[in-house]
Amino acid sequence: AEKWFGIVSIFPEMFGPFTQQGVIGRAVKSGVLSVDIFNPRDFTHDRHRTVDDRPYGGGPGMLMMVKPLTDAISAARAAGGENSKVIYLSPQGKKLDQTGVKRLAESDRTILLCGRYEGIDERVIEDQVDEEVSIGDYVLSGGELPAMVLMDAVARLVPGVLGHQASAIEDSFSDGLLDCPHYTRPELLDGKAVPSVLLSGDHEKIRQWRLMQSLGRTWQRRPELLNHLALTEEQQQLLEV
């Protein structure tokens, strides 16, 4: 496959619908994308298949038990090859944005560690993890949803994953701007008409209108995005009028 993800998670079932439906489901079926799951529970040897352990120093909550976790990481490395990059999903990581997604899309073998409980032993992070990634400043119960968020965003940039590759280019953030508004049938909805330019058939006019909308929206909703953006001459002119 073009892009391989090795997931280390004690809840492999959570990835079922994600890898079977929609854009990602299609990518997996067509072989562009492949996802293998390594469950620390399969690397336990006790009757209860224990995957949690108590934290030194006491306090509430448990941590992921080290040995099943590191054995699962080793199995993922063996499958992905020595060059695979290991990412730990963590609220303490670098916050993910579309620029980060583009960078992550450059490596084609990525291992995603999904934490549970209060997280994982700091030494495992130091020794095994190349990068920590957060999906936002809030705390979830596990790294599975963040791993799916990361994979979904990365997969959209892999050639062949989207039906229309242009969609990814037009999406919000890909050119640093928010996307323009979209309309589908009917032409008149509860008295509200589709902007007439979209019915004009004039592709150049439509392109300009969309660009203007994108700029306007970004300026209204997310002005800070414009600060770090090198606007094209056309974009600059549109903003000045």
37 is in an annotated binding site: no
- What does the block give as tokens for 106? 């450059």
- Backbone φ and ψ for 108, nearest 5 degrees, come out as -100, -5
The one catalytic residue in 13, 97, 118, 130 is 118
- Report, in Å, the least distance between residue 142 CB and ligand SAM: 5
135 is in an annotated binding site: yes
Respond yes or no: is residue 159 known to be catalytic.
no
6 is in an annotated binding site: no
Query: What is the spatial distance between Cα 227 and Cα 4, in angstroms, rounded to a whole number?
Result: 35
Respond yes or no: is residue 181 known to be catalytic.
no
The DSSP letter of residue 89 is E
Respond yes or no: is residue 171 known to be catalytic.
yes
163 is in an annotated binding site: no
> What is the residue whose two structure tokens read 């592709």?
203
- Report, in Å, the least distance between residue 145 CB and ligand SAM: 8
Nearer to ligand SAM, 118 or 202 (CB): 118
Query: What is the spatial distance between Cα 211 and Cα 219, in angstroms, rounded to a whole number?
Result: 12
- Report, in Å, the least distance between residue 88 CB and ligand SAM: 7
Nearer to ligand SAM, 98 or 134 (CB): 134
Binding residues for S-adenosyl-L-methionine: 115, 135-140
Catalytic residue numbers read 91, 118, 156, 171
